[in-house]
Structure 1
Amino acid sequence: MTDTVSFGYEDVAPEEKTARVRGVFSSVASSYDLMNDAMSGGMHRLWKDRFVRRVKPRAGERILDVAGGTGDIAFRMAASGASVTVSDINPEMLGVGMERAAKRGIEGLTWQEENAETLSFADAGFDAYTIAFGIRNVTRIQQALCEAHRVLKRGGRFFCLEFSTTLWPGFAEIYDAYSHKLVPKLGKALANDEDSYRYLIESIRRFPDMKSFEGMIAKAGFVQTRVEPLLGGLVAIHSGWKI
């Protein structure tokens, strides 16, 4: 049986997805935050604030923020005094993050190019692992979750913020129409890149539902897994502990 993974609505070879995802984020890096505002009406900022409150970063902790690219999550956590390492597979996204950090005078962050499926970090080195709006773009999601478990200390915590499937009657249909018809047009107007934003929307549709993804987190070895749906599940915060 051929080993394929989803790239939006297409099924492609794993190596092809990795390369094409790199291409998407190389293309959208400079406009990524503008498009997040446009696509979510600015609500992504509130979701990220809530996410970091759930993580509860503390001074002296070592936290790994995976797919952290432009620094949105890391900047929020750094204010706590935690030592944050920002990793991303895409150097252009990291470049945008480092430039933003310099402009804001945020120091002390470590920036590192990494593949979430094959992290270079030693076992049991971090107190917390975060990934926000990045896991659905990983080629082998289960492998990335196992890597998250590996690099966490005993007692370490895993937190993931990701789009999911809203359960609110009527809202799902409205959002589906908006995202498929309007978001690619916003991508064309604001970033001159309709195809990349069409992929980003399609990738949400192919991502496992909340219960299924929670099962994948448990399969990786995490316990006390929990899901907190936002907007009825349009976005969800998943968490778990390593013991």
Structure 2
Amino acid sequence: MAGDALRDTEATHFGFREVPLAEKQALVDTVFATVARRYDLMNDLMSAGLHRLWKDAMVNTLAAPKTGRPFRLVDVGGGTGDISFRVVEGAGAGVSSIVCDINPEMLKVGEERAFERGLSDRLTFQVCNAEELPFESNQFDGYTIAFAIRNVPRIDRALAEAYRVLKPGGRFLCLEFSNVDVPGLDKIYDFYSFHLIPRIGKMVVGEAEPYQYLVESIRRFPNRTVFADMIAEAGFSRVTAMPMTGGVVALHSGWKV
């Protein structure tokens, strides 16, 4: 099965380093606590602003209703709420979102922004672990996770939880970095990733190592075909993987039927 190599083992890859599985979450927490308040700025610098187009594509694909019809979204690994803000601000009054993240520093930033935008009644921020969500089954119409699932220690458990909390007819959407498949672009992408992104991180937040990890974690993530198989193994139907920007990222979709 495609996900077997990523299931419980004594160790997991953290970037290009091998660390005990039990330690990976603590390391990930440290990375994002370090960059919480400048995370969105760093996304702009790291992607030359392209992350905004990728996220817009995800939100458009979700197609939350613009009428007053109730629609509940759970945005896992949602951090400062970037995806949820886009969904709620572009949808009808019946749409609400719970932003889940394991890092309270990121959620605090999102909560402040929701208050400033007058959206506190439609956005909830909650500390959650993607591998064990604190919600009853069959609760949500949509589940989104953007640039976060590669940092989950046990990806198969997160996918199982996504399937569990969605209602029948609910949609799973995952935006994640993928494998570049355009000749020449892969070399440019590698140079930019490994040489420039850590330098940008050091310049903006004073540390290069968190961004060295972020780059390395992308290379450890399964390619989009393998990951699509894992989504299907979790029970989802009509699974697709749409590459964007030459395969730099992919938008994965699945339905609970």
Class of the TM-score when normalised by the shorter of the 2 chains: over 0.9
Partners of 2:207 and 2:154 in 1: CA distance: 26
Partner of 2:240: 226
Gaps of 5+ in 2: 1-7
Partner of 2:38: 31
Partner of 1:188: 202
**Identity percentage over the alignment?**
54
Partner of 1:143: 157
Partners of 2:60 and 2:157 in 1: CA distance: 27
Partners of 2:39 and 2:168 in 1: CA distance: 35
Partners of 2:20 and 2:161 in 1: CA distance: 21
**TM superposition score normalised by structure 1:** 0.98
Partners of 2:130 and 2:57 in 1: CA distance: 23
Aligned length: 243
1:68-107 → structure 2 map (5 Å cutoff): 68-79=78-89, 80-81=91-92, 82-107=95-120
Partner of 1:48: 55
Q: Which residue, 1, 9, 15 being the options, matches 1:8?
A: 15
Shift of 1:104: 2.5
Partners of 1:106 and 1:83 in 2: CA distance: 10
Amino acid in structure 2 at the alignment position of 1:229 = P
Amino acid in structure 2 at the alignment position of 1:187 = G
Partners of 1:118 and 1:127 in 2: CA distance: 18
Partners of 1:163 and 1:93 in 2: CA distance: 20
What's the Cα RMSD here?
Answer: 1.1
Amino acid in structure 2 at the alignment position of 1:91 = P
Amino acid in structure 2 at the alignment position of 1:99 = E
Single out whichever of 202-211 and 106-115 deviates more from structure 2. 106-115
Partners of 1:14 and 1:151 in 2: CA distance: 25
Gaps of 5+ in 1: none
**TM superposition score normalised by structure 2:** 0.92
1:99-178 → structure 2 map (5 Å cutoff): 99-107=112-120, 108-178=122-192
Amino acid in structure 2 at the alignment position of 1:65 = D
